Amino acid sequence: MTVTDMDGPRWSDFEENGFVVVRGLFSGAEIDEMCAEFAALHAAGPVPGHFEPRATGATGAAGGGGPVDPLDAHPRVMHPHRINELSLRRLLDPRLRRILETLLGEEVLAAQSMFYFKPPGARGQALHQDNFYLRVEPGTCVAAWIACDAIDRENGGLEVVPGTHRMDLFCPEEADAELSFVREYVPPPPGLAVVPVDMAPGDVLFFNGSLVHGSGPNRSADRFRRSFIGHYVGRSTHRIGRHYPTLTMGGEPVALPESEGAGPCGTEFAAAAPH
């Protein structure tokens, strides 16, 4: 897969709908290497500030005393590129850079990485907009969402609302804690529909930071839905939230002034909160 594959319909899909999928950008061996790296990280235990599993057996879906929450043992990993050389290489991968520069029309900076395990039974992340958290000014961010498993509706695949990338940031409602591990929820605007995005390992979904997107619970019996995500901004960005120190795609830090109102990617329901 090369950047020339972005020509024609795929470029217009990104402009028109706010997202595009590039199939097979990463090889099976590369995905296996990434999954092995995060399996080792999980086995090694907590990494304060990045990966902090909770003791299992004490809380339910939102701390209400029901069934054990699978995300207690498998929470997402925040900013793994700061603790993991493979994650840094993946975040700054030249293949991503070429496509991102085509989509943004300028040099790009890397702002964030995340890894989701999403084990069987895990809640999803309610529909939301990434730039609600990053607060990129002017413009928005772009995500590169790398599938590390076969991903579909059964195991909590990503869903998008085409056309919302042209809209302003919405004020979120409170999500259903039985279905989402984060509080914010943006309902689809009238006249627009949620579209599921099925992916194979190595596929990459690129999407606009204003695009409403999210995922439902993993309802499969034995399938994880692992994914590695990078967030990027154009070099013309003036400000970004303080949680997102940027790097050039060569790995050099770039200091940008802080924007107001930013936060981590999703405010999680408290482990012991009643619902």
Q: Which residues of 18-37 are buried (b: 16+ CB within 10 A; e: fewer)?
A: bbbbbeebbeeebbeebbeb
Of 228, 199, 246, nearest in space to 87 by CA = 228
- Residue 88: helix, strand or coil by DSSP? helix
Does residue 275 fall inside a structural domain?
no
* Whether residue 90 has pLDDT greater than 60: yes
Q: In the chain, helix, strand, coil percent, each to 5?
A: 25, 25, 55
Does residue 269 fall inside a structural domain?
no
CATH number at residue 111: 2.60.120.620
Domain that holds residue 26: 3-44+69-254
Does residue 55 fall inside a structural domain?
no
Q: What letter would DSSP give residue 128?
A: B
Does residue 270 fall inside a structural domain?
no
- Residue 55: helix, strand or coil by DSSP? coil
pLDDT digits (tens, 9 = 90+) for 208-265: 999 999 999 999 999 999 999 999 999 999 999 999 999 999 999 999 999 988 877 7
* Whether residue 169 has pLDDT greater than 90: yes
- Indicate yes or no: pTM above 0.75: yes
Count of the separate structural domains present in the chain: 1
* Whether residue 135 has pLDDT greater than 50: yes
Contacts of residue 57, defined as CB under 8 A and 6 or more positions apart, other chains included, come to 68
pLDDT of residue 10: 64
Of 114, 140, 98, nearest in space to 238 by CA = 140
Percentage of the chain lying above the pLDDT 90 cut = 84
Higher per-residue confidence, 268 vs 117: 117
Does residue 15 fall inside a structural domain?
yes
